[in-house]
Homo-oligomer: A and B are copies of this chain.
């Protein structure tokens, strides 16, 4: 086992790789990120073609909303798995996980 993960709650796989198995529905997130990549490419093309500025801004707002939905979903998964697991262990570990989550929330809320 060559696992060198620095975070808790990894699941060790037979192939020696380490994963954070907290993502409830990984395919859903992969599909969403694929769509977000497509949206980013579309905005690049709109700038290249000098599309009307307001139309580009509308697409940027849509992309930002899509990203926020991914972030809120991942954070929910994170609270549901990593934070809950840490809470059960209690002590400094639980405190550190919550501080880390709060800081991530602060960055998202700004």
Interface residues of chain A, those whose CB is within 8 Å of chain B, are 5, 7, 19-23, 26, 29-30, 33-34, 36-37, 40-41, 43-44, 47-54, 56-58, 60-61, 63-64, 67-68, 70-72, 74-80, 82-84, 87-88, 90, 94-95, 98-102, 104-110
Number of copies: 4
A94 CB to closest chain B CB (Å) equals 6
Residue of B nearest to A79 (CB): B98
Closest to A102 in B: B76
Instruction: Output the least CB separation between A38 and chain B (Å).
Output: 9
- A23-B50, A53-B20 as given contacts; A108 in contact with B78, CB under 8 Å: no
**CB proximity of A103 to chain B, nearest CB, Å:** 8
